[in-house]
């Protein structure tokens, strides 16, 4: 077989004859085991790993096509855990091309102003008063209609497109807060924005958050930044430093989807936080599962001991709202209180609700 270095940490093996895909995968696994054997250098034992991507010759594929397919496969292996073998087949090839097309469409969407912000109410558990909104991006994709984040954010997060999208959201939210400042019933409403790991990792993250607020004359306390557990754990010390600076400026910080990641109590004490947002998956089972209710109560009580507010997401029924209120949640969010809607749908005096035990709910059929 022929072995060569393409550049950097990429190597190429041209193996022939190979009897089929099974034999090729077996060879890839042997390569990983061989490369991973510990080595002793200057009395120090070191170990490296490898990922393998395979392209099979045939159907008249030329060298450039084979290299492209092997490259597709090896990056797929890296994206799915490393230290593994991936074979480039038509399914993988189609998936990669579709993803590339989606990324190109997202780039055009930014340039063509195809995004919108919808706002979902967050209410005070004890009174039912809307005190905040969460900003949720929507894509008016040509030929597809309104597209929710689940269909495109993951693709954006694989590239720096997500940084541009996050920046666009912050700018639009600041502009909307300025517009609401002119309406007495909405002048004190705060807005929560979701921040991706890539955006948090940018060197000038703090300035990117503060500049739109200064430009539009927004009190920073009207912005709540939501980060996921995974994004802060990538570099805990640096994330804590950046978030701590934002808090000194008045911006509040929340951990979103809490309970689905790996944040420990020690991390909660280290991070500069104001709020935990309890993932909606807990809410959905709380009415019927006593263990789930016990876990929710534990999280809420622990958060309160650490001086944090607790928001329960995914509230869809009056029964769920009442249960989470009794368990001690401070604020509630979900379709029971309102689905995400454009800003102008909130430009009415709807920030005051009646007795929260008699709240009127809608039952939307979609996300």
Give the mean model confidence (pLDDT) for residues 175-191. Answer: 94
Residues 151, 310, 261: CA angle, nearest 5 degrees: 50
Q: How far apart are CA 165 and CA 170, in angstroms?
A: 9
241 C-beta neighbours (distance < 10 Å), count: 12
Q: What is the pLDDT of residues 185-224, one digit of tens each?
A: 899 999 999 999 999 999 999 999 999 999 999 999 999 9
Q: Model-level pTM?
A: 0.77
pLDDT tens-digit profile of 255-297?
988 876 665 666 777 889 999 999 888 887 778 888 889 989 9
DSSP state of 182: T
Average pLDDT over residues 70-89: 89
Least confident of 13-22, 156-165, 351-360: 351-360
Question: How many C-beta neighbours within 10 Å does residue 319 have?
Answer: 12
pLDDT digits (tens, 9 = 90+) for 292-321: 899 899 989 999 999 999 999 999 999 999
Render 82-125 in DSSP notation, one character per residue. SS-EEE--HHHHHHHHHHHHHHHHHHHHHHTT-EEEEEEEEEET
């Amino acid at each position: 077989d022929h072995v060569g270095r393409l550049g950097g940490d990429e190597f190429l093996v041209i193996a022939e004859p190979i009897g089929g895909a099974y034999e090729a995968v077996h060879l890839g696994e042997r390569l990983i085991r061989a490369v991973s054997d510990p080595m002793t250098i200057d009395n120090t034992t070191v170990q490296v790993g490898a990922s393998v991507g395979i392209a099979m010759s045939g159907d008249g594929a030329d060298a450039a096509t084979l290299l492209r397919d092997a490259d597709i496969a090896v990056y797929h292996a890296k994206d799915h855990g490393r230290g593994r073998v991936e074979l480039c087949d038509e399914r993988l090839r189609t998936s990669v091309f579709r993803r590339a097309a989606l990324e190109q469409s997202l780039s055009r969407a930014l340039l063509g102003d195809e995004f919108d912000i919808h706002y979902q109410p967050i209410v005070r558990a004890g009174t039912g008063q809307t005190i905040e909104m969460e900003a949720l991006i929507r894509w008016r994709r040509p030929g597809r209609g309104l597209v929710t984040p689940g269909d495109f954010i993951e693709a954006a997060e694989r590239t720096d497109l997500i940084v541009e999208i996050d920046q666009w959201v912050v700018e639009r939210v600041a502009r909307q807060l300025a517009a609401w400042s002119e309406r007495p019933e909405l002048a004190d409403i705060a807005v929560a924005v979701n921040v991706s790991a890539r955006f948090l990792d940018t060197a000038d993250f703090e300035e990117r958050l503060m500049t739109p607020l200064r430009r539009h004359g927004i009190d920073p306390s009207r912005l709540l930044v939501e980060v996921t557990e995974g994004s802060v754990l990538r570099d805990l010390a640096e994330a804590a430093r950046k978030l701590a600076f934002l808090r000194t400026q008045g911006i509040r910080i929340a951990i979103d989807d809490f309970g689905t990641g790996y944040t420990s109590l020690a991390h909660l004490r280290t991070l500069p936080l104001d709020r935990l947002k309890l993932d909606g998956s807990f809410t959905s089972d709380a009415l019927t599962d006593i263990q789930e209710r016990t876990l929710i109560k534990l999280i809420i009580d622990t958060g309160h001991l650490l001086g944090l507010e607790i928001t329960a997401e995914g509230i869809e029924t009056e029964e769920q709202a009442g249960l989470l209120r009794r368990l001690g949640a401070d604020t509630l969010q979900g379709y029971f209180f309102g689905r995400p809607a454009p800003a102008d749908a909130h430009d009415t005096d709807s920030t005051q609700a009646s007795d929260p035990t008699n709240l009127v709910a809608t039952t939307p059929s979609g996300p």
